[in-house]
Chain A
Amino acid sequence: MTQIIIQGLLLSGLYALIAMGFTLIFSIGRVLNLAYGAYLLIGGYVYFYFAQMMGMPKLVGVLLAVIVGAAMGLAKYRMIVKPLKGDHVAIEISTLILAIVLQSGVILAFGDSSKILLPIIPGVERLAGATIPYSNLLAAIVSWAILISLYFFVNKTHTGRAMQAVSMDAKGAAISGIDSDRINMITWGISGALGALAGVFFASYTQLTPSMWVAPLIISVAIVIVGGIGSIIGTLIVAHIIGFMEIIVTAMIAPELRGVFTMVLIIGVLVIRPQGLFGREEL
């Protein structure tokens, strides 16, 4: 029981971090960024390359991953999203293609076998029969710290409020002096940075493979659909629902069904409450 709670909390924290960058773009930019998982992929491999292959300090590896992630976010906005100006189908197709291209690039550079990341902090803690790797604990703590900062950033700073303003009423934002292009760049940069950081933690939670962008994308889509757009708190709560559900299913029913219940939940929510549990009907 304790084990389920502890593992549930750790996994949920990680899921919340994974979904946050995706929610941000979906809520503010109104873009379903199907290449979101690619930030995790690239983040994981950048960290692997610098921290593990080159032997740089781990913190430097994490920082480089975050920087590359942010740069990818900016590039994606400039080169795909902005030129396609609100053509959602075109954006979804191009982002999906981009993710697949990046996957091929990673295979070319690193081969397609999976790799194990050395733990950021080695060692484990045993608590009430549960084994907690320090790395997972760190991932959960960092997720929480980032989610709390993001909450205050979005709600209490001029830039954060401007991000919300752009999503709620573009003309209202423009006549308040907000340059929506600049706000979008900031949002895409943050999203990429968060995704890459989540990638480092996700890869150390599971392992590094060229196809590791798929699972986080599905988790993110699930969290956004179930939680509803535009709510950081909603994202956090639903990350916990899905995280605990997976742990409980794995422990009590069968590990193979782990992802299935998440899918069933997505369909159920889409049918019963399309705006999501915590979402607004229409922004």
Chain B
Amino acid sequence: MGFLTVENLSAFYGKAQALHKVNISVAQGEIIAIVGANGAGKSTLLDSIMGLTKTTGVIKLGDNVLTGLGSPAIVRLGVGYATERFNLFPYMTVRDNLMVGAYTARDDIERNLDMVHKLFPRLEERENQETMTQSGGERQMVSLGRALMTSPKLLLVDEPTIGLAPKVCLEIAEVLRRLRDEFGTTIVITEQNANFAMTLAERLYVLEAGAVQIEGTVESLRDDPKLTEAYFGH
């Protein structure tokens, strides 16, 4: 039985349907990747888990039903979210951005801050810098750091490597792996780059036009002709 289960999830923006009966199941301590092109519905899926869209279907985290709850309640139940555009607070310092993340987890501030600084030493060096003046890589770190400050059991990361230099991508991947291995965090990432997704995740879901087309373990999908054709371009 999954830790996160998504059953028959459809999502709507006004009358437009962005997701069609998506089913996903993630075990505790697993890293899975949602792979798909631009506009396939990856961000919508994560937004929906976070309670930010209008949906039908059921989303469960452990024994708690998330469907119908607002984001604040979902954060309290243990879901952290690092969005694609980061959605940082541009005129606040790195430290204040992290402290906003601690809004619901005020008893864990010291422990979480310590963990974030251990994972991203650069955030401690730059703690008084306003995030608007930071590079894309640093913003990604603040965004992940802020999500971690909410004490998440499930971490959603939308396109962790988009627009980042290859070296920074590896750093981020390493941090996500450490989070899972050392802190037991369950992680869902989305990726356009199937190659990168395969280096990090155990299982993939391939999303196309808002529906799951292919799913399986990295092993079983490595040689899947359909996936190769669609996402490796050779």
Question: Chain A residues in contact with chain B, CB under 8 A?
Answer: 158, 161-162, 164-165, 168-169, 171-179, 230, 280, 283
Q: Please determine whether A176 and B103 come into contact, CB atoms closer than 8 angstroms.
A: yes
Rounded to whole angstroms, the CA-CA distance of A36 and B144 in the bound complex is 39
**Neighbour of B88 across the interface among A158, A169, A179, CB < 8 A:** A169
Cα–Cα distance between A175 and B90 once the two chains are bound (Å) = 16
* Chain B residues within 8 Å of A161, by CB: 92, 96, 99-100, 103
A169/B72 contact (C-beta < 8 A), A161-B96, A176-B146 known: no
Contact A230 B87 (CB under 8 A): no
Known: A162-B103, A177-B150. A172 touches B88 (CB 8 A): yes
Shortest A183–chain B CB gap in Å is 10
Q: Are B52 and A176 in contact (CB under 8 A)?
A: no
- Once the chains bind, are B147 and A177 in contact (CB under 8 Å)? no
Nearest neighbor of B76 in chain A, beta-carbon distance: A177
Q: Which residues of A contact B92 (CB under 8 A)?
A: 161, 164-165, 168
Interface presence of B101 (CB below 8 A): yes
A158 close to B103 (CB less than 8 A):
yes
Complexed CA–CA distance, A165 and B105 (Å): 16
Q: Distance (Å) between the CB of A157 and the closest chain B CB?
A: 10
Question: Which residue of B is nearest A180, CB measured?
Answer: B72
Q: Are B72 and A178 in contact (CB under 8 A)?
A: yes
Q: Assess whether B91 is in contact with A173, with CB atoms less than 8 Å apart.
A: no
Q: Which of B50, B70, B72, B86 has the most CB of A within 10 A?
A: B72
B205 sits at the interface (CB 8 A)? no
Instruction: Give the complex CA separation of A175 and B147 in angstroms.
Output: 8
**Is B87 a contact partner of A178 (Cβ separation < 8 A)?**
no
The reply to whether the CB of B32 lies closer than 8 angstroms to some CB of chain A is no
Interface presence of B5 (CB below 8 A): no
- Mask, B129-154, CB within 8 Å of A = 1, is 00000000000000000110110000
User: Could you mark each residue 91-132 of chain B with 1 if its beta carbon is under 8 Å from any beta carbon of chain A, else 0?
Assistant: 110001001111111100000000000000000000000000
**What separation, in Å, do the CA atoms of A175 and B74 have in the docked complex?**
9
- Say yes or no: A165 contacts B83, CB within 8 Å: no
Q: How many residues of B contact A (CB 8 A)?
A: 30
**Contacts between chains A and B (CB distance < 8 A), count:** 77
What is the CA–CA distance of A173 and B146 in the complex, to the nearest angstrom?
Answer: 11
Is A178 touching B147 in the complex (CB atoms < 8 A)? no
CA A179 to CA B92, docked complex, whole Å: 19
> Which A-chain residue is minimally distant from B104 (CB atoms)?
A177
- Closest residue of chain A to B99 (Cβ to Cβ) is A161
**Contacts known (A158-B103, A162-B103); A175 close to B87, Cβ less than 8 A:** yes
User: Is residue B4 within 8 Å, beta carbon to beta carbon, of the partner chain?
Assistant: no
- Can you list 20 A-B pairs with a CB-CB distance of less than 8 A? A161-B92, A161-B100, A164-B89, A165-B100, A168-B89, A168-B92, A169-B87, A169-B90, A172-B88, A172-B146, A175-B75, A176-B75, A177-B71, A177-B72, A178-B72, A178-B100, A178-B103, A179-B70, A230-B91, A283-B91
Chain B residues in 8 Å Cβ range of A169 = 87-90
Q: Inside 8 A of A179's CB, which chain B residues have their CB?
A: 70, 72
Please, how many angstroms separate the alpha-carbon atoms of A177 and B101 in the complex? 8
| B89 nearest in chain A by CB position | A168
Scoring A164, A177, A179, A283 by chain B CB atoms within 10 A of each residue's CB, the highest score goes to A177
- Select from chain B the residue with minimum beta-carbon distance to A168: B89
In this complex, the member of A164, A174, A175, A280 whose beta carbon has the largest number of chain B beta carbons within 10 angstroms is A175
Given contacts A158-B103, A161-B100, contact A175 B81 (CB under 8 A): yes
Q: Indicate if the CB atoms of A168 and B91 lie closer than 8 Å.
A: yes
Residues on B with beta carbons closer than 8 Å to the beta carbon of A162:
100, 103
Provide the residues of chain A in CB contact with B52, threshold 8 Å: 171, 174-175
Q: How far is the CA of A38 from the CA of B76 in the complex (A)?
A: 39
Q: B100 to A174, Cβ gap below 8 A? A: no
A169 to B90, CA, bound (A): 8
By CB atoms of chain A within 10 A, which of B87, B101, B149 has the most? Answer: B87
User: 8 closest A-B pairs (Cβ-Cβ)?
Assistant: A177-B75, A172-B87, A177-B104, A174-B71, A168-B89, A175-B81, A179-B72, A165-B100
Tell me how far the C-beta of B87 lies from the nearest C-beta in chain A, rounded to whole angstroms: 3
Q: Which of B43-88 contact A (CB under 8 A)?
A: 50, 52, 70-72, 75-76, 80-81, 83, 86-88
A94 to chain B, nearest CB (A): 26
In angstroms, how far is the closest chain B Cβ from the Cβ of A100?
A: 36
Residue numbers in B under 8 Å from A158 (CB-CB): 99, 102-103, 106
